[in-house]
Amino acid sequence: MRPRSRFAAAVCTAAILLSAACAAPAVDGLTLPAGFHIEPWVADIPNARSMARAEGGIIFVGTRQGGVVYAVRAKADGSREVLTIARGLDMPNGVAVRKGALYVAEMAKIWRYDDIEARLDAPPKPVLVAELPAERHHGWRYIAFGPDDKLYVAIGAPCNTCDRDQEDFATIQRMNPDGSGREVVARGVRNSVGFTWHPLTHELWFTDNGRDLLGDDVPPCELNRLSRVGENFGFPFCHAGTITDPEFGGLGRCADATPPVQALGPHVAPLGLRFYTGNQFPAEYRHQAFIAEHGSWNRSKKIGYRITLVKLDGNRAVSYTPFVSGWLKPDGTVTGRPVDLLQLPDGSLLVSDDKAGAIYRITYKAS
C-alpha cells in the first residue's frame, strides 16, 4: 500500500451556524490502496457520528456530544451547507430515514420528524416513537431500517461486563415504524454501534465492541452475522466465540454462543459497517465489508483509528486488512477517529469523523 491521498480544502458557508473555526481536516497523511483518494466532503461538522441519506439526497448526521442533529444539503453551486435540525438532545447518535421521515435515537427515546426534507429550515415538532433504557453506559444508540421495514436498535450492556440479559440489555431489537411490536433479535451483543444487511442474503451483520480490563490483546472485537432470530453471541459469559469470561463464564458455554465471522483487532472499537454495492470501486470490492474502527481508548499501545476491509467468500471471511490508515501517527498522536460509513449513489463512500468534526469522501479513479 502507498499514499494516494489528496488534500482538498472544503468550502465553509454562512449556513454553518457553528462556533468552531472553519478549517479543513488534514488528509495528506492518510494511506489508501492505489487508485483511491480521500478528501474532506464537509469540513466543519462537530462530533459527526451516524449518517443516513434521504431519497432527495439530504444527509442527516447524529452526534454523541453536544446534543445536535445536523442535515447536509447540496447548493446549486456544488458546495454544501450544514443545517441544525435539533438541539438539546441526549446523545442523539442514531439517525435513520423512512418515507420522508427522520428517526433520531437519543439515549432513552426514539423520535420521528415527519416530512423533514421539505422542512429543513423549520423542522417539525418530533413525535415520540419509543422509550429506551436510561442507563448511560453504552447508551449511545445506533438505528437503521431493515429489509423487513422494521426499525432496528442496539441496546448496549450498561457496564463493562455484567449480567443484565433478563432486562434485554446487550441486545439488538426491532420494532414496527410506530414503535409497536418490539422484539429482541440478537442476544449476547455487548455494544454494537453499527449494523447493516447483506445485499444478497438480507441477513443482519453487525460490529461488536469487546469487553475491557482483560489486557491489551484480549478479547478481540467482532464482526458478526445473525442467521436466526434470538441467536446468542455470548456476552457476558463468552467473548469472540472462544474466550470464557473470568467473572461470568459460569452463565453459559462458548460452545453455545455464535462465534464471529471475523475476530477484529483487540479494542479497535469497530463502529460503522457497510457492504459495498456500487460500481465506482473495482469489482473485487463489491459486496465486501468495510468497517470504521474508532480506535482504542485504554490500551497501552493505541490501535485502530482506521477503515478496514473484510473480504468474504459467501459468509466466510478470507481476509481482514487496513483500507484507510494514518489517523494514528507513529508517535501515538491521533488526528481522526472514523465512526460511520455511507455509500453515495455515484459509488463513492462517505466517512464521518467525530474527533476532527468532519465527513470525508472516498473515490476511485484508475491510474
Q: What is the CATH number of the domain that holds 349?
A: 2.120.10.30
Give a yes or no: residue 25 inside a domain.
Answer: no
Given pLDDT bands bounded at 50, 70 and 90, which one contains residue 367?
confident
Domain count, the chain: 1
pLDDT for the residue numbered 219: 98
pTM: 0.93
Give a yes or no: residue 139 inside a domain.
Answer: yes
Give a yes or no: residue 4 inside a domain.
Answer: no
pLDDT above 90 coverage of the chain, percent: 91
pLDDT for the residue numbered 208: 98
**Domain span holding position 43:** 36-364
417539525: which residue's cell? 124
pLDDT for the residue numbered 26: 75
pLDDT for the residue numbered 23: 52
| pLDDT tops 90 at residue 230 | yes
Of 9-18, 95-104, 202-211, the poorest mean pLDDT is in: 9-18
pLDDT above 70 coverage of the chain, percent: 93
Give a yes or no: residue 3 inside a domain.
Answer: no
Alpha carbon of 243 to those of 88, 141, 210, 317, 366: distances in Å?
A: 41, 26, 11, 20, 43
Give a yes or no: residue 84 inside a domain.
Answer: yes
Give a yes or no: residue 15 inside a domain.
Answer: no
Given pLDDT bands bounded at 50, 70 and 90, which one contains residue 21?
very low
Give a yes or no: residue 28 inside a domain.
Answer: no
| pLDDT tops 60 at residue 24 | yes
Give a yes or no: residue 205 inside a domain.
Answer: yes
- The rounded distance, in Å, linking the Cα atoms of 36 and 352 is 17
Average pLDDT in the chain:
93
pLDDT for the residue numbered 249: 98
| pLDDT tops 80 at residue 330 | yes
